[in-house]
Amino acid sequence: MNVQQVAVFLEHKPGRLAEISHCLAESNINIRALSLADTTDFGILRLVADDTDKARKVLKEHGFTVGVTEVIAVGAEDRPGGMDKILQVVSKAGLNVEYMYAFTKKSGESGILLFKFDEPAQALTAFKEAGIKILSGEEVHSM
């Protein structure tokens, strides 16, 4: 049920993000979703690609520090309150969200929330019990 994401550590230098996008584009890797977070010393780019293994390999070959982690993807209605419905389940279950990011496939249809929890098994149980659609890695990577 989990989705693999690539995490890349970036030095604070102009052009580093463009280097990553260029490496992936030249290798015909499509980015499905991404999030970029900034810390004092470096940035962390988290991305979901159509081919996680190939993305990791290509970025490592180009000298980037890369890791692969698993996140949980759930479907949300693309309307006011769609995300809140999901977050109320998270809150009621007492889950700690380490981070999250989101995207929509087509406006008005469905959104997708990607979560990293400190207790992913509990999150999956809470989502299932609440009838929240959990997306497989295959579903997300092939969008």
Whether the predicted pLDDT of 1 surpasses 70:
no
More confident residue, 10 or 125: 125
Provide the whole-model pTM.
0.88
Q: What is the pLDDT of residues 86-95, one digit of tens each?
A: 999 999 999 9
Domain with CATH 3.30.70.260 in the chain: 71-141
Domain 3-70 has CATH 2.170.150.70: no
Report how far Cα 75 is from the mean position of its chain's Cα atoms.
Answer: 13
List, by residue range, all CATH 3.30.2130.10 domains of the chain: 3-70
The beta strands (E) that lie in the chain are given as: 3-11, 31-38, 42-49, 65-77, 97-106, 110-117, 134-135
For residue 48, pLDDT beyond 60: yes
Look at domain 71-141 and name its CATH class.
alpha beta
pLDDT at 37 over 80: yes
pLDDT confidence band for 104 (50 / 70 / 90): confident
